[in-house]
Every structure is written in C-alpha cells, then in structure tokens.
Amino acid sequence: MSTYLQFAVFGLSLGVLYAALANGLIMVYRATGIINFAMGAMAMWGGYVYAFLRKESVLYLPVGQVYFPDDPGFWLSLILALASSVLVSALVYFLAFRPVRQAPVLAQVVVSIAVMLTLQALALIRFGGDTVRVDRFLAADADAWKIGGVTIEPQTVWFTVIVVVLSALLWAYLRFTRQGMATRAAASNERAAILMGYSPSRLAAIAMILAGLIATVAVLLTAPTTGLNPVSYTLYVVPALAVMLVAKMSSIGVATGFGIALGAFQSILAYLVTQSWWPEWAASGVDQVVPLMIVMIALLAFGNKLPARGSLQTMRLPDVDIPRIRPVSATVVFVVAAALLALSQDEWRFGLTTSLIMTVLALSYVIVTGYLGQISLVQVAFAGTSGFVLSKFGQDVGIPFPIVVVVCALTAVVVGLVVALPALRIRGAQLAIVTLTAALAIERFVFNNYSLTPAEGNNIGAPQLFGLDFGIRQGPDVSRLAFSWMVLVVVAVMVLVFVRVASGDLGRAFLAVRANERAAASAGIDVRMTKMTGFALSAFFAGVAGCLIGYSHGQLSASSFTVFVGLQILAVAYLGGITSWGGAVVAGMLAPLGLVHTVIDHFWTTGNTYALVAGLLLILTAILNPSGIAGATKHQIAFVRAHRGRRQPGAVAETAAEIDANANRERTTSV
C-alpha cells in the first residue's frame, strides 16, 4: 500500500501542473469562449525564460535577447519569467484570440492550435529540442519527511499548497469581484456587457494574463522534477483538457482537485506497468489512454450539460460550391501533374509526390469538417492506423497491391466509427478536445509502442501490380517516377470519389447536418447515420493516405503520424480552404514534407522554420480570411467580376449571403 501512496506522492508534481493548466483553460474559456490549446506552450515559455536566466544569464524575448553580466539570482529571474508570461499572454490575446472572438468555432480552434504550433516551433528554435534541467529552488535543502513508510519531499507539499492557493484566488476573482462577474457576463453576452459599460477585451486580456501566470508558476514548480521539453510541455495541455471537461469547463475547484488526482493516478499507473504481470504490449502510452478514458466517461456522464457557449449561433463555416466533374479540365490537370512529376527529380519529385498524398489526407478533413461540420483532430491517427496495419499484416497475408490499400483503409474506418461515437453527443470545440485526446492516445499506445512498432520501424514492401514495381526506391533512385505516377492515379481516383459523393445526396445530407442538426432531422435525414457515414468516409480517405505515406517511406515510422503532424495538416487544410477539393490540393502543397516545405528547407536549412512560418501564416489567415485562402480568392474573383459590370447571379447571391451573416446558407451555384 505504501508503495502506491509513494507513487501517488511522486505524481503530485504533474498533478499540480494539470490542475493549473486546467484552471488556465477554464479561465480563458470563460472569458473568451476559446479553448486554448496553446496553454501548455504559453506556460512553458516562462519556464524557459527562468531556466535560461539561471543557466546562461540570458533573458530570451520572443525576438532578441538581453545578456546579464552574471546570474541574476532567483527573485529577479522569477519576476522576469512572470513578466514574460504576461507579455506572451497579452500578445497571444491581442494578436490572435481577440481578432477571432466573433469568428466561427472552427476558426477559433484553428487559431489556438496555430498559436500552440507557433510557440512550440519558436521554443524549439530559441531553446533547442533537448530537455533542459532546471535546478530546485523551493525547499531545495530541506530534509524529506517520512510518514508511514512514504517519503515526502517538502517541496512537493509546498508546490501543492501554492497551486491550490492560487487556484482559490482565481476562483474568488471570478466569483466575488465585479471584474470577475463581468468577465463571466461578457462570456455569455458580449454585446450586453459592452452596453453595461464594460470592455470585454480588457476583461478577457486580464483573464488571459491571470491564466498564463498560474500556469507559468506551475511550470516553474514542476520543471525541476521533469526537466523542460518543448514537446512534452506543449502536450501537457491534453490531460489538462480532459480535466477541464470533467470540471464541466467551469468549476475551478473540481479542476484543481481532479487535476492533482489525475497526476497521482498516472504515477501509480506508471508503477503498475513495470510489474511483471502487466502485459508488455500494453505498457506503452497507458498514461495517455487514461485521459482519453476520462474524457469519454465525462462526456457519457454529462455530455449534454456541458456549457456550449454561443450554442444559439450555429457553426458558420465557409460557403460550399458543389463540385462537378469537368472531363476536359480534369484531364488537363492530370496531364500537367503527370508531366511535372516526370520533369522533376529527387527531393522536388518527392516533395510533389508527398503533396499529392497529403491532398488525400486533407480531403478527409474536407469531408469531416468542411462538409459534415465536425472538428476532428484525429484524422492523421486514422492514416497511421491504416499504415500500421499495412506494415504489420498487409505484407504477410499476401493480398495484392491495390486491394491491400482498401483493406487497410477499412481498418481505419473501424477506428473512425469508434471515434465517431462521441460526435453523436457533442460538437464544436468539445469534439476537438475528444479527438485530440484520442489522437494522442493512439499515437502513444500504438505507434510509439515498441512491442508493436519496433524502433527501426516496420518495413513496407514496394507495391507491385501485374509484375510492375511501383516502389519508391530502386537502387540509387530514391524517388522513382513509377511510384509518383501511381500516387497520382490513386489521388485522381480519390478526388473523383470525393466529387461524386460531394455532389450527390450524401454530400447534401452532410451539408444539412453541418448547417443545423435539428433542421436536418426534421427534413428526414438520419443525423446519427449521416455523422457515422461521414466519419467512416473521412477515415477511409485518411487510411488511403496513410498507406501511401507508408509506401513513400518504405516503412512505418511513428514520426509520420504524430499529433503535431495531424494538427499541421488540419491547419493547412483550413488554410487551403476546408470546403473544396481545390483547397485540399493547396493544403497538400503546404503540408509537412510537401512542395512548400521542400522549398523552405531548400533555402533555409533549419528544420523548424517551416513549423514557425506555417504557424504564423495560419494565425494570419484565420484572422484575415476565416474561409481560408481558396475561399477568399473565390470571393475576390466574385467581387472583381461584380465591379466590372459583369454582375452574375452568383455574385449577387454572394452579397446577399454576406449581409445575412447569421444565416448559414449553402449555395449551389452549379448543379
């Protein structure tokens, strides 16, 4: 028993971090209605500032740095760390969150993910990817206490007390002060708060800063135990999101208690998996599966009672133009793409081919988010599942090439149907949380599980059809034309499938569900069935992409399917235009390892520049054009046409749609 207690005590340091991050998330959500996926990344910044002040006597600002002649000491470093946290929070609020405060939920999710990716890339560039040790500063020399066989470090007690007290202060601020009340008021009805003489943006900025401060303090307390790492600290937001859901996105008390308990429980689990009776295949990633289970249970228990902010307003997404097949232009595009592949070589051909593959993956987002209106962050895990099955079993069973891809993609469909279950109950940003948690759980439990995926990766043989070899490599040629053309054909088929679905009854049913579930149901559409079908279809697309990614690497490597890759692809899919296959093509070009990535890497050698540039561009696009690049271009073309006197019926409908901003209209300009 005392062993379990001992591990529970070890877990407190992560527990207080979860509690503080969850409280920060609740604070930001109640003030702005945005789920701040960047909470961990924002808090991490202050931790790094402190660590580098103590280690190298350098004060890192987001841009530039200040050198101190010698160690500035604990207190000055602490104050500067907290000051930089205030700076980061204020910058994030005014540059990213405030501009999208009225935007659709999807734009808000994308912006907060973009902030997370940007801060993480910035931290990687500024502070490096290695774990940074941070010295203890709290009761560092005090002797440990022994109570009933359990050793308790005094610092553990101290930081638990500090975080609990800070959480209580946050709670009191929201509950009792006029400012705090007004913050809650502004969250539910911003206009009415303005009319009462409050400035919602000032209140929200204060809330963001308070959230950043409590999270930063927790990072400073936890970092000496765990060390600072840009990936793990960014992702600590996932368990914190689970805690936030359990606290019904509003209760600071529940979040504090539950966060600490979760940390303790994870630590006990970490002990259990080392036991001999624990199955080896299930040892990896259990700590991530736990948050997923918690989220699922929380949603089952009170899925309908979670406050859905702005639930009156339906999710406004960019307009959809129903696609149709134009044989001539399709052939032209196909031939041009084939010619480009033939003319390019090596890294360029590989980049172009990857872009084509990513187009299919982006199409899965177009289906599930653009058409069905569900924010899913798990699509890459579907792709990974399919690639995983291909590498593990597809080779041995001896199913011939094109069929094996379909079979593997169908396994992704099965996973997709399971993940779709919560989508029957929840929507919007909460679904984003669930799918993100699921993605991380699948990544840790399957892809990073060495008993399933050896460190050197599972090899994937070259695809062969009628004796022809479509492998990516052959001898010195590492990017064969045969492979690229095969990919092009697959992509063309998938785009055709998409266009058929999108222009058919199923596509209309998706759009109806997207616009208004109740209205769709009253029009005789089976909403549940439609959602399940949409998730299944999108998982199939992702699965096909996953197989192609596997073939293009010659093996399955977990790094192709991480949560961050998934978020980046959602980001570029959104950038490109989430409602059209043209947008998916743009997304493919912008995707990680795609053409644009190849260009950036060709000219700037540092590997993280792409992530930083992509993150910044994404924030900018989401703010300027909530409908994405492709959508914005379409609008501009329509605008120019209208003003050149060639006013067309479509252009008139455009203006009308803009006036009626609340009406979620799907136009069908070409039927």
Partner 1 sequence: MSEVLLQATGVTAGYGLVPAIQGIDLTLRAGEVVTLLGPNGAGKTTTLLALTGLLPISSGSVQALGIPVKAGRATKLSRAGTILVPDDRGVFPDLTVSEHFRLVDSRRRRERMARVLDAFPALAKLTGRRAGLLSGGEQQMLAIAKSLLAGPRILMVDEMSLGLAPIIVQEMLPGIAALAREEGFAVLLVEQHVAIALSVSDRALVLSQGRPVLEDSAAALLADPSRVETAYFGAVSA
Q: What are phi and psi of 576, to 5 degrees?
A: -65, -35
CB of 250 to partner 1, least distance (A): 8
Candidates 45-53, 230-238, 314-322, 658-666 — which segment interacts with partner 1 by CB under 8 A? 658-666
Residue 171 found at the interface with partner 1 (CB under 8 A): no
- d(Cα 531, Cα 507) in Å, to the nearest integer? 11
Q: Which of 172, 192, 332, 478 binds partner 1 (CB under 8 A)?
A: 192
Residue 641 found at the interface with partner 1 (CB under 8 A): no
Residue 198 found at the interface with partner 1 (CB under 8 A): yes
What angle separates helix 12-32 from helix 237-246, to the nearest 10 degrees? Answer: 70
Q: Which of 151, 655, 668, 670 binds partner 1 (CB under 8 A)?
A: 655
Residue 182 found at the interface with partner 1 (CB under 8 A): yes
Q: Is 175 exposed, middle or buried (0-12, 13-18, 19+ CB in 10 A)?
A: exposed
What b-and-e string marks burial along 61-82, b requiring 16 or more CB atoms within 10 Å of the CB?
Answer: eeeeeeeeeeebeeeebbebbb
Place of tokens 């785009």: 495
CB of 38 to partner 1, least distance (A): 25
Size, binding site for partner 1 by CB under 8 A:
22
Q: Give the nearer residue to partner 1 in terms of CB position, either 310 or 554.
A: 310
Q: Which of 91, 181, 231, 599 binds partner 1 (CB under 8 A)?
A: 181
Q: Give the nearer residue to partner 1 in terms of CB position, either 181 or 497.
A: 181
203 with 186: CB under 8 angstroms?
Answer: yes
Q: Give the nearer residue to partner 1 in terms of CB position, either 12 or 193.
A: 193
81 with 50: CB under 8 angstroms?
Answer: yes
Record the tokens describing residue 175, joined without a space.
């509950």
Place of tokens 């207190």: 75
Q: Which of 194, 297, 325, 335 binds partner 1 (CB under 8 A)?
A: 194
Q: Are strands 145-147 and 58-60 parallel, antiparallel or unpaired?
A: unpaired
CB of 189 to partner 1, least distance (A): 5
Q: Is 466 exposed, middle or buried (0-12, 13-18, 19+ CB in 10 A)?
A: exposed
The CA R_g of the chain, rounded to the nearest whole Å, is 25
Distance of CA 121 to the CA centre of its chain: 14
- d(Cα 587, Cα 570) in Å, to the nearest integer? 9
Candidates 12-20, 186-194, 479-487, 540-548 — which segment interacts with partner 1 by CB under 8 A? 186-194
Q: Which of 496, 661, 665, 670 binds partner 1 (CB under 8 A)?
A: 661
Residue 313 found at the interface with partner 1 (CB under 8 A): no
CB of 303 to partner 1, least distance (A): 19
Q: Give the nearer residue to partner 1 in terms of CB position, either 192 or 418.
A: 192
Q: Give the nearer residue to partner 1 in terms of CB position, either 161 or 192.
A: 192
Provide the sign of the torsion angle of the four alpha carbons 420, 425, 431, 433, taken in this order: negative
3-state secondary structure of 351: helix
Q: Is 341 exposed, middle or buried (0-12, 13-18, 19+ CB in 10 A)?
A: buried
Residue 82 found at the interface with partner 1 (CB under 8 A): no
Candidates 159-167, 179-187, 569-577, 600-608 — which segment interacts with partner 1 by CB under 8 A? 179-187
CB of 304 to partner 1, least distance (A): 15
- d(Cα 210, Cα 28) in Å, to the nearest integer? 9
The H or E element containing residue 60 is strand 58-60
CB of 332 to partner 1, least distance (A): 36
CB of 481 to partner 1, least distance (A): 50
Q: What are phi and psi of 458, to 5 degrees?
A: -90, 130
Write the CB contacts of 250 (distance below 8 Å, at least 6 apart in sequence). 26, 30, 307
Q: Give the nearer residue to partner 1 in terms of CB position, either 329 or 662.
A: 662
In this structure, the number of other CB atoms found within 10 A of the CB of residue 620 comes to 16
Q: Give the nearer residue to partner 1 in terms of CB position, either 176 or 281.
A: 176
Would you give the binding string for partner 1 spanning residues 329-348, x where CB under 8 A is met? --------------------
413 with 540: CB under 8 angstroms?
Answer: yes
- d(Cα 323, Cα 328) in Å, to the nearest integer? 15
Residue 178 found at the interface with partner 1 (CB under 8 A): yes
Q: Which of residues 435-454 bind partner 1 (CB under 8 A)?
A: none
Residue 61 found at the interface with partner 1 (CB under 8 A): no
Q: Give the nearer residue to partner 1 in terms of CB position, either 310 or 457.
A: 310
Residue 189 found at the interface with partner 1 (CB under 8 A): yes
Q: Which of 658, 663, 665, 668 binds partner 1 (CB under 8 A)?
A: 658
Q: Give the nearer residue to partner 1 in terms of CB position, either 185 or 270.
A: 185
Q: Could you write out the three-class secondary structure of 35-58?
A: CCCCHHHHHHHHHHHHHHHHHHCE
CB of 664 to partner 1, least distance (A): 16
569 with 587: CB under 8 angstroms?
Answer: yes
CB of 212 to partner 1, least distance (A): 24
Residue 248 found at the interface with partner 1 (CB under 8 A): no
Q: Which of 199, 331, 345, 670 binds partner 1 (CB under 8 A)?
A: 199
Would you give the binding string for partner 1 spanning residues 597-636, x where CB under 8 A is met? ----------------------------------------
513 with 372: CB under 8 angstroms?
Answer: yes
In this structure, the number of other CB atoms found within 10 A of the CB of residue 176 comes to 10
Candidates 165-173, 191-199, 291-299, 592-600 — which segment interacts with partner 1 by CB under 8 A? 191-199
Q: Is 649 exposed, middle or buried (0-12, 13-18, 19+ CB in 10 A)?
A: exposed
- d(Cα 571, Cα 591) in Å, to the nearest integer? 9
Would you give the binding string for partner 1 spanning residues 292-311, x where CB under 8 A is met? ---------------x----
Residue 185 found at the interface with partner 1 (CB under 8 A): yes
Q: Could you write out the three-class secondary structure of 444-474?
A: HHHHCCCCCCCCCCEECCCCEECCEECCCCE
Q: Which of 55, 101, 184, 641 binds partner 1 (CB under 8 A)?
A: 184
Candidates 180-188, 217-225, 454-462, 554-562 — which segment interacts with partner 1 by CB under 8 A? 180-188
Candidates 193-201, 237-245, 325-333, 533-541 — which segment interacts with partner 1 by CB under 8 A? 193-201
Give the residues lining the site for partner 1 (CB under 8 A): 178, 181-182, 184-185, 187-189, 191-199, 307, 655, 658-659, 661
